[in-house]
Amino acid sequence: MNILKNTKYIATAVLLVTLVSCNKFLDVKPVDSVSDEQTIFDKSSAETAVRGVYRALAADSYYGVSFPSIGYLSGDNVQWTGSQSIVQQFIDHNVKSDNATVSSVWLAIYTTINRANYVIAKLPEVNDATLTAAYKNQLLGEAYFVRALAYFDLARTWGGVQIVTTPTLSASDKNGIARSTVEQTYAQVLSDLNTAEPLLPAPTTPNPVRANKETVWALKARYYLYQKDWANAELYASQVITKTANYTLLKPYSAWFANNAVGTKESVLELAYSATYTNGHRGQWQPPANSGTRQWAPNTALLNLLNDPLTGGTRSALVAKTTAGLWYGNLYYRSPATDPAYVLRIAELYLIRAEARAQQNKLDDARADLNLIRDRAGLAVTTALTQDDVLLAIENENRLEFALEGHRWFDLVRTGRASAVLGVTNAQKLVLPIPIDQITVDPALTQNAGY
């Protein structure tokens, strides 16, 4: 071969290569994700984004497992029976700021808020002829409701927190936000609820997997209860209770969760799971014989109460025993793991109203609500006489009615009874520590006292 010929080949090869290696070659786009510039721009993308908000609310680290677990582990119903020692930190009220559950819940709640913020920021600007004003309002109202719930949970767990109301567009655009007070945080909750209420329609048929106007009332009832605004708590609870076509106390007690029931009239808001989106909760409760880890289990005191026909009644269905004699919680049991997360049940509205009425010294009305709950559990009417007795009876009813849901700790903290019932004498321990890594990464964030 001669030189000329070779050179010709090489020149051709080099030319080819240079042509290919233009910037087009380096412009590679993903196929299973989209740029965040085109997220909410029409009806369909608005709908998918709102579903994404609910999926965040239902994440294992939020309403799936972790957040309810803080509520019951910190109470007096559950004992640690697994390998994760951090569980015992809640039971022992000796939570460290490096507790992984605390950190994961904090992240999950703010992830939910960010998704809601995207909808709240972008949806109003969407112009799509197929997106009716009513539907647009509904989607927007749902985002406001979820954000209200998220800030409510932050406030009752940590106290005042940083308030973020815009979607995050860059890593630094949430720098320098200081913590609000607990009052300001609750004010944000109320503001979002007030915004959501007119936007959301009342449901034509029961649909507890999504928020609607009545869901807002239910959360408002709980909100006012926490604020000790008894009149409003009673008012909003009544508004929900009167919608008997949508919500009713199911009998027997287990009817709202047993036999793979979903979306019953017991639920005002329950989050949905599927084979694709499972709920890890069962794994923490179920014993190895049922393919769980039984990380925690009902403690002796709770077992005694639930199994006592005079206190637990049909609520004994919440616990079960293996052939080897191991007791376990059986509220979350399904396979695939599709147990709903129960956020608001009608039973809670009755007990909210009972408490609000008792506080207003409407003791007969209070007892009537309480007795509905007791009756549903197969128990006789309450014998409580004085206001204090009635309030204590409601407290004890709450303990068993929501034994495996995340209520007990927050109830005892809100009523100021954590010291008397749980022996938590150090008031600083009534809120959880801010995750230490968040303190490290965010100079604007301060730790709760005592941690």
Partner 1 sequence: MRIFIPVEKIMALKYALIMLLLAAPLIGLAQTEPPPTINSVLKGRVFDAANRDVLPGATVSIKGTTHGVTTNSEGRFEFVTGQKFPYTLIVKFIGYESQELVVNGSPLEVYLKPSSQILNDVVVVGYGTKTRKDLISAVATIKANDVKNTPVAGFDAQIQGKASGVQINSNTGVPGDGVFVRVRGTTSINASNDPLYIVDGVFMNNTSLQTVNTGGRATSPIADINPSDIENIEVLKDASATAIYGSRGANGVVIVTTKRGNFNARPKVSFNTLQGVAWQPKGDLWQLTTGPEHAEIVNEFYRNSYADAVAAGNTAGQNTYRNVPFRALTDNPTLTPAPRGLPSEQNTYDRLDKIFRNGKLQNYDLSLEGGSKDTKYYIGAGYTKQEADIKPIDFSRASLKVNLDQRVSDKVQVGTSSSISRSLRTQGRAGDGPAGGLFQSALHTPTYLPETNADGTPARYAGFDNLQVLLDNYNVHTTSLRYIGNLYADVEIIKGLKFRSSWSLDYDNYNESEYWNDKTQLGASPTNGLGTSAITQNSAWINEQTLNYHTVFNKKHTLDVVVGNTLQSNIIKLTSAQGTGFPNNAYTDISSASVRTANQTYTKANLSSYFSRISYNYASKYYLEVSGRADGSSKFGANNRWGYFPSVGASWRAKEESFLRDYNTISDLKLRASYGVTGNQAGINNFAAQGLWNGGAGYPDNTTGGDKPGTAPQQLANPNLKWERTAQVNAGFDIGFLNNRLNITFDVYNKQTSNVLLQLPVPYITGYSTYSSNAGKISNKGYEVGINSTNIKTANFSWSSSFNISGNTNKITSLPVPINQYSRDWIRMQQGYSMYSFWLYKQTSVDPQTGNAVFEDVNKDGTITAADRQILGSALPKFYGGLSNNITWGNFDAGVLFTFQQGNKVLNLNRFFGEGGGTRDANRVIFASQLKRWQKPGDVTDVPRLTAYGNNYTLEQNSRFLEDGSFIRLKSLTLGYTLPKSLTQKIDIQSLRVYVVGSNLLLFTKYTGPDPEANVGGGQAVQGIDLGTPPQPHTVQLGVNITL
User: Where in 387-446 is the site for partner 1 (CB under 8 A)?
Assistant: 422-423, 433, 435-438, 440-442, 445
Amino acid at 167: P
Q: Please name the residue that has the structure tokens 């009716």.
A: 132
CB closer to partner 1 out of 325 and 383: 325
Closest distance of CB 176 from partner 1, Å? 10
Closest distance of CB 381 from partner 1, Å? 27
Closest distance of CB 194 from partner 1, Å? 23
Q: Which residues contact residue 366 at a Cβ distance below 8 angstroms, ignoring those fewer than 6 apart?
A: 353, 354, 355, 357, 358, 390, 394
Number of residues that bind partner 1 (CB under 8 A): 117
Handedness of CA 212, 215, 221, 223 (dihedral sign): negative
Strands 341-345 and 267-271: antiparallel
CB closer to partner 1 out of 143 and 372: 143
From 66, 69, 74, 114, residue interacting with partner 1 (rule: CB under 8 A): 114
- Residue 31 lies near partner 1 (rule: CB under 8 A): yes
CB closer to partner 1 out of 273 and 410: 273
From 74, 79, 180, 316, residue interacting with partner 1 (rule: CB under 8 A): 79
- Residue 45 lies near partner 1 (rule: CB under 8 A): yes
CB closer to partner 1 out of 29 and 383: 29
The C-alpha atoms of residue 236 and residue 232 are separated, in whole angstroms, by: 6
CB closer to partner 1 out of 15 and 380: 15
Closest distance of CB 429 from partner 1, Å? 12
Amino acid at 151: Y
**Which residues in the 47-66 window bind partner 1 by CB under 8 A?**
47-52, 54-56, 58
Closest distance of CB 209 from partner 1, Å? 5
The C-alpha atoms of residue 62 and residue 146 are separated, in whole angstroms, by: 12
- What residues form DSSP beta bridges with 80? 296
Looking at beta carbons, which pairs linking 130-137 to residues 24 or more positions away fall under 8 Å?
A: 130/42, 130/43, 131/42, 131/43, 131/46, 134/201, 135/43, 136/46, 137/199, 137/200
Closest distance of CB 1 from partner 1, Å? 6
CB closer to partner 1 out of 373 and 418: 418
The C-alpha atoms of residue 156 and residue 167 are separated, in whole angstroms, by: 23
